[in-house]
A = this chain, B = another copy of it.
Amino acid sequence: MNINKIIIDISEKNHIRLTHQRKKVIEILISNSNRHVSAEDIYTLIKDKDDNIGLATIYRTIKILEDKGILIRHDFGNGEAKYEFVMKEKEKHDHLICKQCGKIIEMAGILPENLNQKVLKEKGFYCKEFHLIIYGYCDECNNVRVNQSVHSKVKY
């Protein structure tokens, strides 16, 4: 199935009117589904292809796709939302973020299998999406840390 067919498929299944701009946004999202992209990223990637689009349109499109569950929004805590295209085939994964260098490492299979039932039973809550972010230190940064001192003596 080529990318054009996939896009048409998405738009029809989700009742999204397919404009030139929306097509471009979805195209970029699909071809970058291995990354986390911001609205600005999408904007730049489209501009790079000598295509014109307004940032506002991107924000509006993103919101629709998110509503439809086609796009997952991540807040990694730097004040900029990142988006990830949902591929059925792709394994769900969580994110490890280094507090020192900001690197994001993906890791799958962290959460237990039976979480949905557990949460439903205990809290009457129907789980749809699990967002687990683990903050800590990656290997390299941790080595630097232990060589220096972990507890800063800096006076504020």
Contact = CB atoms under 8 A, between A and B. Distances in A.
Interface of A: 15-17, 64, 73, 75-77, 81, 96, 98-99, 105, 107, 110-112, 115, 118-119, 122-139, 142, 152-156
Contacts of A105: 123, 125
Contacts of A152: 15
B119 A126 contact: no
Main secondary structure of the interface of A (DSSP, over half): mixed
State how many copies of this chain the complex holds: 2
A127 B96 CA distance: 8
Contacts of A131: 131-135
A127 B132 contact: no
B132 A136 contact: no
